[in-house]
Structure 1
Amino acid sequence: MTQTGGVKPERLDAIRSHLYANGFSTIQALADSIGASLATVRRDLQILEQQGAIDRVHGGARIAEGSSVELAFQEREKRNLSAKRAIATAAYELLAPRTAIFLDAGTTVLQLARLIRINPMPLRIFTNGITVAQEFLNIPNLEVVLLGGQLRSENASIVGPQAEAMLETIWFDQLFLGASAISPDGAIYSVDSAEASLNRCMLTRSAHRFVLADSSKFGTMATYKVAPLNMARVITDAGLSQEWRRQLGDFGVETNIAEAGA
């Protein structure tokens, strides 16, 4: 049903969600996606541009370069959920009891945290993710440490100099790191500078490093570079294109492809 008339917050959210998932989109594609008229979409885009959330370009729009506006954590958590769960299952198989691991604040890593909650083993878990830490309340055999620092509400995470200083005193057997984007240049990128800086610290403090990224993240771009992808092993889903599988080999990146339902 076509929507017209006044501004509806859920319609603005739907436009942001579409642009976040698809990158640049034409006005027609946005109208088809959210079920609104072209005139309504144009008005909504003007509002979002004034808020700094999007950039309008000829014939369409995209998420603003360097914008601090992210989709709500709960909304991003639901995106590509079956792929994220498959990736989490593959990552869980790599865990060893009585080791120290770091779980970052990403939504795919959160699925790994939920598997650990359901099937706990003796682990020392460090995290900068508030939502991740909450998964482990009252779970036996887990020692859980939440980094201290600055709260970043958009990702329910802890970042900043205090968190980085704490990381410098800890060594992990395994790191499980999410990614906002994996660019064509073979690097991990983040939408936030403080998150990117903390992620770089995580990578230097871990013996074994794993990037958990569903296939939609590949070939996309965010603002702040974290590190070359070949610093870690990638766990992704079967939706990854053959071209990207070849590219990862060219970059020297070891890759696990997680099959849904495996």
Structure 2
Amino acid sequence: MRDDRLHEIRRLLYAAGAACSVQEISDAIGASPATVRRDLIDLEAQGMIERTRGGAKISDTSGQEVAFALREQQNLSEKRAIAEVAYAHLRPHSSVLMDAGTTVLQLARCIRLRPMPLSVFTNCIPVAQVLADLPEVKVTLLGGVLRAENASMVGGLAERMLDELWFDQLFLGAGALASDRCIYTLEEAEARLNAKMIARSSTRHLLIDSTKFGRNLTYRVSPLKDVLSVISDGALSQEWSDRLAEMGVSVTLASLQNGQDV
């Protein structure tokens, strides 16, 4: 029961993307406010959340990876809008590499709604599952070590597979885009594989919502200059828009009206 509550509190705070009051959490999970307060103390001690005055929010600086299913729900409208813009960049009969980002998963769902002939390669199990039974789409899942936290395949085997392949297009997610203008992630093996993906692709699109800009995570993937195109949402700050323009990186900002429930 306690573990279920802690999971639900984390899911709720991550999906909200902002602080929730103790009463809001209590109503959502069906536990007393006193129980919620004790659970919040435990979650804060684990570095998962930050308590606020009268409530709590998910921690942005915990350095711990939140499970794929929880991350998938955060900023969902923005991710769907970004995926709609990314879909317009797809070219029929091309080879497409899709990483294990949750925004990239929304692109896979767009493809499922409007299939086109593609050869899709991915290290993301949910992406492969979404596209698996489409006759127009040939799906290749990279081998390697399973990372349950990110529902992805990583490691030396996956990297060696990429050495034998070349892709027309890459659609890459990101955990953070730091002030040094580099892409970062929380996990070393993921960083190495993503860097290899960039090196083995002709056209490289970074799908990243505006909340990821200016954040810091542990492992560097690549300088942003190695990516040709950034697709984000309309909440991206003018400061970052100017920085990207200075670097010569193409930027497309998605309107939330472009998103749809897929």
1:168-204 Cα offsets, whole Å, 9 max, x none, are 1100000000011111221111111111110000000
The equivalent of 2:241 in structure 1 is 245
In the TM superposition, 1:57-206 aligns within 5 A as: 62=59, 65-67=62-64, 69-70=65-66, 72-206=67-201
Number of equivalenced pairs? 249
Change (3 A) 1:121 1:8: closer
Farther-moved stretch of structure 1 (131-140 vs 72-81): 72-81
The TM-score, its normalising length taken from structure 1, stands at: 0.82
Structure 2, unaligned stretches of length 5 or more? 27-31
Deviations along 1:34-73, one digit per CA (max 9) or x if unpaired, are 46869964x44553366x544989x999456543x42x32
RMSD: 3.0
Query: For residues 153 and 238 of structure 1, do their structure 2 counterparts lie closer, same or farther at Cα, with a shift above 3 Å needed?
Result: same
Unpaired segments of 5 or more residues in structure 1? 1-5
The Cα of 1:8 is off from its aligned counterpart by: 6.3
Cα–Cα, structure 1 residues 17 and 218, in superposed 2: closer, same or farther, change >3 Å?
A: farther
Change (3 A) 1:231 1:116: same
Q: Tell whether the 8 Å contact from 2:15 to 2:75 is kept in structure 1 after alignment.
A: no
Percent identical residues? 45
Tell me the secondary structure at the aligned position of residue 135 of structure 1. Answer: helix
Judge conservation of contact 1:106–1:178 (CA < 8 Å) in 2.
yes
* TM-score (norm: length of structure 2): 0.82
Secondary structure at the counterpart of residue 125 of structure 1: strand
Is the 8 Å Cα contact of residues 215 and 236 (structure 1) preserved in structure 2?
yes
The answer (yes or no) to whether the contact 2:14–2:71 under 8 Å persists in 1 is no
* Corresponding position of 2:226: 231
Amino acid at match of 1:247: R
Matched to 2:234, the amino acid is A
2: distance between equivalents of 1:55 and 1:225?
Answer: 24
